[in-house]
Chain A
């Protein structure tokens, strides 16, 4: 069982590898930045949520 260190806090790497960043945030009682660093050490960068593109809707004819 490998551990991931963020400062002086250790996380279980196997556990982090099997949950999403959102699940990690919900599970751990640590600050978001600490959880983010730990999760990213195992899984890579957290992907920013992108807003879905607005569909081109035909303009209504006046």
Chain B
């Protein structure tokens, strides 16, 4: 945001404004987005797409974590602050602006758990953010036909956990600076009407699912459990209600996918999140097989699920 980066046309800009403009509202949510995916492509939203609403849902549920948007919704005390500009003052006390002030984003998540804090404690990749306002409008940085996330100085990112007190709930408090070169003047919004039937304030993020193979029962059957990173030390919350199509098997030894179209998945009647996967195509004994799960969200208020894969040795 250096003042040297603002181009000068040699005239003052016209100040007329057409009627009917709706400004972006107050921020209630953010999408964290890696700036660049592992394949080298830049993450953004094509605003000319005929399937814009679905594109955004797919963005949040992309199977590639480096191409995914990570929503943080229901934010409280969102307080974007603008630091003062830097000036040089001459010997007659006349000021000359040398640098814009840095813009900082502060927000809180209330009623948060320590496990949620573990997810937000650090962001270790170069990332940017889209803002979501109270109406469900989405704001980012427009370049051509692409709306990119506003670049964040990830070195400035900090998250703290505040314990509950008799008068306050537990909170996660997050703060980061926008990149020096990003500008408020380049921010544009996608209106909520372009995202219907989805609501940006109701599109939830994906949940990590841990998998643990309990037993390899036969050459065509395994028993495993699936659970979240959340719950208690005694009982992690189970990933219950899964179906066969949520899971994938991959033979790491041969490097080939194992079709589960003819398989069945049965959840234990007594233990939620414990499953028996039967009628798996037989693999060569001692081959290493990888079990994973992925279920994208397809509607408002629904979470997608992504597995932390595990392996077992086939019989």
Chain A interface residues toward B at CB < 8 A: 1-3, 5, 7-12, 14-15, 27-30
B261 surroundings in chain A (CB, below 8 A): 1, 12, 14-15
Chain A nearest CB from B277 CB (Å) reads 10
A11 surroundings in chain B (CB, below 8 A): 244, 264
Chain B nearest CB from A23 CB (Å) reads 10
- Tell me which of B105-113, B155-163, B195-203, B265-273 binds A: B265-273
Known: A8-B267, A15-B261, A15-B262. A29 touches B244 (CB 8 A): no
| Cβ contact within 8 Å between B279 and A27 | yes
Docked CA distance A28–B280 (Å): 10
Cβ of B263 < 8 Å from any Cβ of A? yes
Docked CA distance A15–B263 (Å): 9
A15 nearest in chain B by CB position: B261
Docked CA distance A11–B277 (Å): 11
Cβ of B314 < 8 Å from any Cβ of A? no
Docked CA distance A55–B220 (Å): 47
Q: Which 9 A-B pairs have the closest CB atoms?
A: A10-B243, A3-B243, A8-B267, A9-B266, A1-B245, A15-B261, A10-B244, A12-B261, A10-B265
Interface extent on B, as a size class?
10 to 19
B260 nearest in chain A by CB position: A12
Chain B interface residues toward A at CB < 8 A: 220-221, 242-245, 260-269, 278-279
**Number of A-B residue pairs having CB atoms within 8 Å of each other in the complex:** 47
Of listed A3, A7, A30, residue having the most chain B CB within 10 A: A3
A14 surroundings in chain B (CB, below 8 A): 261
Identify A29's interface contact among B245, B260, B265, B279, CB under 8 A: B279
| Cβ contact within 8 Å between A12 and B269 | no
Query: What are 27 A-to-B residue pairs whose CB atoms are below 8 Å?
Result: A1-B245, A1-B261, A3-B243, A3-B245, A8-B266, A8-B268, A9-B266, A9-B267, A10-B244, A10-B264, A12-B245, A12-B260, A12-B263, A14-B261, A15-B261, A15-B262, A27-B262, A27-B279, A28-B264, A28-B278, A28-B279, A29-B220, A29-B221, A29-B264, A29-B279, A30-B264, A30-B266
B243 surroundings in chain A (CB, below 8 A): 3, 5, 10
A15 surroundings in chain B (CB, below 8 A): 261-262
Chain A nearest CB from B243 CB (Å) reads 4
Docked CA distance A3–B267 (Å): 14
| Cβ contact within 8 Å between B269 and A8 | yes
